[in-house]
Chains A and B, each alone.
Chain A
Amino acid sequence: MAIEHGGFKRKSKIANEIPTSSMADIAFLLLIFFMITTVFRKEQQRPVEFPDAEAMQTVDERRSNIMNIWVEPDGQVFINDQLTPPGQVTPIARQAYIDTDRRLVVSIRGDRDVPYNVINQITEELRDAGALRVNFYTDLEQRVTRARR
């Protein structure tokens, strides 16, 4: 083989490799940073069976702009884990509407067996509050569940 570099071997003391031994530590630090800064929505899951639908879409709005209204099978309404009697939805929705800079989407998470007048009461109160963008939360309809019903 021919003599490389004109016969002079390069004797650099600087390693020409990126040090990879600390990469895992850096990654973990990043991970811990994101874990700490993530704010989870602390809302209790309720024993609600959602209706099924085929035409459902995902809500295209930031999570902080979505307010959930849970309607339990016995007709009790919960907003932010607080039992909300009829007539009290309007002030809460209006405040949320202001807080979200008019971008509020109300997701009604109602049980499939709840009587319609409970839902109607909520939508009418939302109209009073001016919160007009509503999402009726549903699960994706599967053919199997359709045959069972």
Chain B
Amino acid sequence: MSTFPFQDAILVAIFALVVGVTIGGALIAALSTRIIRGVSGLMLCCMGLGGLYYFLNSPFLALMEILIYVGAVCVTIVFGVMLSEPDEPAHEESRRHAVLWGGAALLVSLVILGGVAHLGLRGPWQEPAARVSDGSVQAIGLALLTTYSLPFELISIVLLVAILGALVIARSGRTKE
């Protein structure tokens, strides 16, 4: 079946690269001291997530992930970084305090990681008996305009209200002076 030599090995290598980019980007996003590096890490993480969506049989969602997250969300956060002064304060808390809170945060996140990974690996997942649709872009469009038309319209209202609210909130301090 495999016509290209080492097809499977190349595929696994690309998969490992995508997983590595996702987790590495997330680590940069959460741990770097300079915020602009954190935003870049979030961009890397979203690129890797796009690749993972591609492996999950959904090229449409992969493109949407890169378009919305890298193209819109991260660029908006970069604007926020430029308009404020977001770097982490250096040596503000005492060393004992830092170790205590860092340990507590690490413990919480490790417990969450263990619990969710255990659920994912050991849970009673069942393969479906039959697939109703093929998950193509056509199926998504049909479902969006028939079964899910109400949430679709609600999302557009939420976006409109969010834009107006963002304008009002960001403007209010300006008119006073």
A and B: interacting chains: no
Q: Which residues of A contact B (CB under 8 A)?
A: none
Interface residues of B (CB under 8 A from A): none
